[in-house]
Amino acid sequence: MKRKLEISELIFKIISYTLLAIFSLACLYPFVYAISASISGIHAVEYGEIVLFPKDIQFEAFGRMFNNNMFWNSYSNTLFITLYGTLFSMVTSILGAYALSKKRLLFRTPFNFFLVFTMWFSAGIVPQYLNYLDTRAVFNKIGIMDDKWLVVIAMGMAAMNIILLRNAFEGVPSEVEEAAIVDGATEMQVLTNVFIPMSQSTIATVALFFAISRWNGYFWARQMISNANEHPLQVFIRLQLENFTNPEVMAGWNEPYASDSVIYALIVCSIVPILIIYPFIQKYFAKGTNVGGVKE
């Protein structure tokens, strides 16, 4: 009986690791292909000869991209939106989650219900767009003409992330909070010195969610930002793709690299920062999701 269990467990591990390896390779392949296509010659890219490794290696596509001032401008806009957007979202989400985690909060149950309700039902894109237009009008009245701030503030809330933080705060032992209050700590001191340090995993995970959302944001950024100099990287990539599909633009194309190579080079550069940051936050990811996603 014991031997049968050992054999079945071995078979299960082999199947599990095999499926996991296949899944990992399937996720990794598009990135490898993008790198290969970005540094391959025009003939290999246009005739679909790239499978895994690059052919006729050249780096002119990256050179064209790096010499484009609009690329660096859009990159700086994306960094601005990601940095300030994540910071603004974390401040509002932490404060909201902390308040909703307190049983002494007046109308706590209705507030929590309305928060969850927004996850079940959405007003739709058109009402949301009209709401953003009203927000822009308010910004213009107070002298804020930079549409990047509109993206930062208008996209500053996410119900799911607030719920994760709220559940993490509810898991903090009440005895620790009471001890801090007895020692004379104010409400803000309790939050910053007790709840935030004891919920670092969930906070790091939610910050990663917000950062990725801001970094990859395209639709609302294109709708709300009218000035081309304020476009983030994702919008810039899309506009470049539209230019390269224009026959008039491509009529005089005489380069050793394909237009697709430039797009793939842009994609690679847009992914690299997330790949650099993710390993430092990965250790918090599983723990933070479990802690914030389970309510005791």
pLDDT digits (tens, 9 = 90+) for 106-145: 888 888 888 888 888 777 788 878 878 777 787 777 777 6
Q: Is residue 116 a part of any domain in this protein?
A: yes
Alpha-helix residue ranges (DSSP H) falling in the chain: 2-38, 42-46, 60-66, 69-100, 108-120, 125-141, 147-154, 159-170, 174-182, 187-190, 200-216, 219-224, 233-244, 247-250, 259-293
Contact assessment for residue 206 and residue 90, using Cβ atoms and an 8 Å cutoff:
yes
The SS3 of residue 60 is helix
Q: What is the CATH number of the domain that holds 267?
A: 1.10.3720.10
Residue type at position 104: R
Rg over CA atoms, the chain: 24
Task: State the greatest distance between any 2 C-alpha atoms of the chain, in Å, as a whole number.
Answer: 78
CA separation for the pair 205, 158 (Å, rounded) = 13
pLDDT digits (tens, 9 = 90+) for 31-73: 899 999 888 888 888 888 888 888 888 888 888 888 889 899 9
Q: Is residue 83 a part of any domain in this protein?
A: yes
* 0.75 exceeded by pTM: yes
- Say yes or no to pLDDT of 294 above 50: no
pLDDT digits (tens, 9 = 90+) for 174-218: 888 888 888 888 888 888 888 888 888 888 888 888 988 889 888
pLDDT digits (tens, 9 = 90+) for 63-117: 888 888 989 999 999 999 999 999 999 999 999 999 998 888 888 888 888 888 8
Confidence at residue 77, expressed as pLDDT on a 0 to 100 scale:
92
Q: Is residue 62 a part of any domain in this protein?
A: no
CA separation for the pair 236, 238 (Å, rounded) = 5
CA separation for the pair 57, 45 (Å, rounded) = 11
> The domain containing residue 254 runs over which residues?
69-293
Among 14, 128, 130, 100, which residue's Cα sits nearest to residue 292? 100
Residue 153: CB atoms within 10 Å: 18
Q: What is the number of structural domains in the chain? A: 1
Confidence at residue 65, expressed as pLDDT on a 0 to 100 scale:
87
Q: Is residue 48 a part of any domain in this protein?
A: no
The mean per-residue pLDDT over the stretch 227-245 comes to: 86
**Using 50, 70 and 90 to split pLDDT, how confident is the model at 295?**
very low
Confidence at residue 84, expressed as pLDDT on a 0 to 100 scale:
93
Of the candidate ranges 58-62, 226-230, 266-270, the one whose mean pLDDT is the lowest: 226-230
- Say yes or no to pLDDT of 284 above 70: no
Q: Is residue 43 a part of any domain in this protein?
A: no
Q: Is residue 178 a part of any domain in this protein?
A: yes
The SS3 of residue 231 is coil
Q: Is residue 123 a part of any domain in this protein?
A: yes
Confidence at residue 292, expressed as pLDDT on a 0 to 100 scale:
45
Q: Is residue 94 a part of any domain in this protein?
A: yes
Among 34, 168, 166, which residue's Cα sits nearest to residue 109? 166
